[in-house]
């Protein structure tokens, strides 16, 4: 079969031949229709992600959309190495599949699954967001952040605050449900801007923020934790859910910030949320997407062009499609 084959850690996948997967007992051979390019896909393929199998050569792709032998259109995930979703065929068990609503096309379904899962799992599974609560989404200008704004509103958040580096990108979140926009500049050469960001955050936490969904980590996460600690002592507990680390893999976390603030730190992702619950989160996203009027920008690309599109970091979610 043809597939996006990764030949070594850090290498760009190539469109090449790869042995067909063979179904085991209770498994089905899926005809793949679409597979999205997500940060998780890139990280696992490179061997850098904590959940990477580091088996090479292997097929890239953590999830996708395809057709079962009995004609059902499904989303599938959690393939066994060295096989991935970016191939003409994939082997899955029923436990790895979610049936797709008719109103969601293949490309959209593939595109929303990963960012939708990360947002839904963080807000519903980890934070247990309650209607009427306030959510701060740190680093909301990517596709995952866009989905998080829409899902937070769908789950009943009364106020959604978003942060990001560029005001123009934040403005795009208003029609999706963002109520407050906070642009920040954490360049070490501009300490006054960093102080201003912390002061704005401190005021927001004093007014009451229940949940933080963090897609950045790094310096911005440090600043948010410091602002929580410096806000009014009688504020409600803040559930801080760490999802991504595009701004750095580590932070400096003073013990005093934990002792002096009502904060609960949690992560959300593979292994912190059991796979059945992650699939349930994705199912919830699929069911709510059309009724909620949600949107996501996509760029369909033939899988044969995987090497050229692999490093695309545009706003539209790249989705590799198969004929």
Q: Which pLDDT does position 234 carry in this prediction?
A: 64
- At 59, give phi and psi (nearest 5°): -95, 130
Q: Which of 9-23, 60-74, 167-181, 226-240 has the lowest mean pLDDT?
A: 226-240
In this predicted structure, the answer to whether residue 111 has a pLDDT above a threshold of 70 is: yes
In this predicted structure, the answer to whether residue 187 has a pLDDT above a threshold of 90 is: no
In this predicted structure, the answer to whether residue 34 has a pLDDT above a threshold of 90 is: yes
Location of structure tokens 């740190």: 138
**pLDDT tens track for 131-174:** 999 999 999 998 889 999 999 999 999 999 999 999 999 999 99
Query: Residue 231's pLDDT band (boundaries 50, 70, 90)?
Result: confident
* Rounded Cα gap, residues 127 and 263, in angstroms: 12
**What is the overall mean pLDDT for the chain?**
92
Domains, the chain, ordered by start: 2-103+296-321 (3.90.180.10), 114-267 (3.90.180.10)
Side-chain half-sphere exposure of 275, counting CA atoms within 13 A: 12
Average pLDDT estimate for 29-46: 94
Q: Which pLDDT does position 7 carry in this prediction?
A: 97
Q: Write b or e for each residue in 98-132: b if 16 or more Cβ atoms lie within 10 A of its Cβ, otherwise e.
A: bebeeebbbbbbbbbbbbbbbbbbbbbbbbebeee
Strand ranges for 142-277 from DSSP E: 159-164, 180-183, 211-214, 238-242, 263-267
Classified as helix, coil or strand, 6 is strand
∠285-290-292 over CA atoms, to 5°?
80
In this predicted structure, the answer to whether residue 51 has a pLDDT above a threshold of 90 is: no
In this predicted structure, the answer to whether residue 228 has a pLDDT above a threshold of 90 is: yes
Query: What is the pTM for the complete model shown?
Result: 0.86
């Amino acid at each position: 079969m043809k597939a996006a084959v990764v030949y070594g850690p850090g290498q760009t996948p190539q469109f090449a031949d790869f042995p067909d997967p063979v179904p085991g007992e209770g498994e089905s051979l899926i005809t793949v229709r679409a597979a999205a390019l997500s940060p998780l896909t890139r990280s696992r393929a490179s061997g850098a992600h904590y959940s990477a199998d580091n088996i090479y050569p292997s097929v890239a792709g953590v999830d996708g959309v395809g057709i079962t032998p009995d004609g059902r259109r499904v989303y599938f995930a959690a393939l066994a190495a060295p096989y991935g979703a970016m191939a003409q065929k994939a082997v899955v068990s029923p436990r790895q599949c979610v049936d797709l609503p008719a109103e969601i096309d293949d490309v959209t379904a593939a595109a929303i699954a990963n960012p939708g899962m990360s947002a839904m799992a963080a807000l519903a599974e980890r934070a247990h967001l309650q209607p009427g609560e306030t959510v701060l989404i740190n680093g909301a200008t990517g596709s995952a952040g866009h989905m998080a704004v829409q899902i937070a509103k769908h789950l009943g958040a009364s106020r959604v605050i978003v942060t990001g580096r560029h005001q123009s990108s934040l403005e795009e979140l208003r029609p999706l449900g963002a109520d407050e926009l906070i642009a920040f500049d954490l360049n070490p050469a501009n300490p006054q801007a960093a102080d201003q960001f912390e002061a704005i955050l401190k005021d927001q936490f004093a007014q009451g923020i229940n949940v933080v969904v963090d897609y950045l980590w790094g310096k911005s996460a440090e600043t948010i934790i410091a602002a929580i600690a410096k806000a009014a002592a009688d504020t409600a507990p803040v559930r801080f859910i760490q999802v991504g680390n595009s701004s750095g893999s580590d932070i400096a976390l003073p013990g005093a910030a934990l002792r002096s603030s009502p904060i609960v730190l949690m992560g959300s992702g593979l292994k912190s949320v059991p796979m059945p619950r992650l699939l349930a989160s994705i199912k919830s996203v699929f069911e709510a997407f059309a009724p909620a009027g949600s949107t996501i920008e996509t760029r369909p690309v033939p899988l044969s062009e995987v090497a050229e599109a692999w490093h695309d970091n545009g706003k539209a979610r790249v989705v590799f499609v198969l004929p």
